[in-house]
Amino acid sequence: MQDKRERGGTQREKVDRVYGMRAIIGKEIVRWFQANRRDLPWRGIRDPYSVWVSEIMLQQTRIETVLGYFPRFLQAFPTVEALAEAPLERVLKLWEGLGYYSRARNLHKGAQDVCKAGAFPKTSEEWKRITGVGGYTAAALASLCEGEASPVVDGNVIRVVSRLRAKEDSRVPAAIRPELEKWLMPAIEASGSPGDFNEGMMELGETICLPQNPKCEACPLRLFCKGLEKGSPERFPGKRVRKALPERWFAAFVIRKHDEAGRVLLAKRAEKGLLGGLWELPMVPIRAGDAMGNAAWKRVRKQYGIEADGKNRIRRIGELVHVFTHFRQILHVFEVTGDAICFGGDCLRYEEPGNVAVATASRRALALGAANTSVEGAGERD
């Protein structure tokens, strides 16, 4: 019988070899990151509050977008106590345009959780008890602020590791994360700097290991990359089949109060649910392809309790498409002019849009010109 060593070594030796390779990867990533990291406002900060704000903002948002929001937010709310005590309306206004507004609401509530506890969490398990902090964010915060060896697995890290392993996997990220976290543990434990390791892996995916045309010649891990060895790193991790987003059609109405303040009639959404606590134009759902304003105007008056004396002129001023996470909103925008309009209830009021947090689709609708136009674009995802 052929000796096990002649067939490639014992199982223990194979394990040592694989783990040794991951240990080298951990050290190489830290070395590369410390020499090549980009100069970003949140880099090098280990204050848990600032790190927390940056991590929440960076979720599902491009770095270029966050660059402007991060310093403004910290200037307005320099401490966790300032954020916890601030009115939610003001927090949402500072978040306006950044999208995914549940992040702002959860950050606000999470700040109150921290203040109630009297101290910031230390471990990833403790961070998970704070409102809005999931496993990914908890690992990032614990590694960056306390040096905990908890791997962070986002889309960039999934791509890097999938190419290192030359493994195709089209499952959703949530299904992949546990396996990759386990695979990364030897690397982050050997890295000597868990925070730099996690930032380095994400930086590598953002700047070198790109989805298309990866810069393999500049990659510090190219000698370990099985995807590159196979000559086709772009194959990995494989493409997920995305379902077409359903479409929902709405008619929205711009009703201006003709005064120097430039106020517009806006409706405040319920605090919970999609776009919770934001202001938007009065609107009603319509059937696909239906762009008739008069019928929709009658419905919106009934829904919002709007009373209009005399005849009102309804003029279509444009159409836009706004993409949410789970659907595409087709918004037909109409302008209402005419005699006095009155209404009851607290959810409706004339507001200068610059003073309150207005949902992105409604801000885009207000920007439409007087001529009929068609605007298609994702905007920020709310």
User: What is the C-alpha separation between 125 and 134, in angstroms, rounded?
Assistant: 10
Token pair in block for residue 12: 């223990």
Residue in the structure block whose two tokens are 């806006």? 266
User: From the candidates 28, 55, 148, 280, which is the catalytic residue?
Assistant: 55
In whole angstroms, what is the distance from residue 197 CA to residue 34 CA? Answer: 10
* DSSP codes of every residue in 7-45: GT--HHHHHHHHHHHHHHHHHHHHHHHHHH----TTTT-
- List all residues 6 or more positions away from 28 whose beta carbon is below 8 Å from its beta carbon: 220, 221
Per DSSP (E only), the strands in 42-161 are none
* Whole-number Å distance between alpha carbons of 71 and 66: 9
* Position 26, amino acid: G
Apex CA 356: angle with CA 350 and CA 359, to 5°?
95
Q: CA torsion sign, 200 to 202 to 208 to 209?
A: positive
229 classed as catalytic:
no
Question: Do you find a cis peptide bond into 237, omega within 30 degrees of 0?
Answer: yes
Give the SS3 label for residue 111.
Answer: helix
Residue 382 and residue 101 in contact, taking contact as beta carbons nearer than 8 Å: yes
Helix (H, G, I), strand (E, B) or coil at 237: coil
Q: Classify burial at 109, counting beta carbons within 10 Å of its beta carbon; exposed 0-12, middle 13-18, buried 19 or more.
A: middle
Handedness of CA 165, 167, 172, 178 (dihedral sign): negative
* Residues acting as catalytic residues: 55
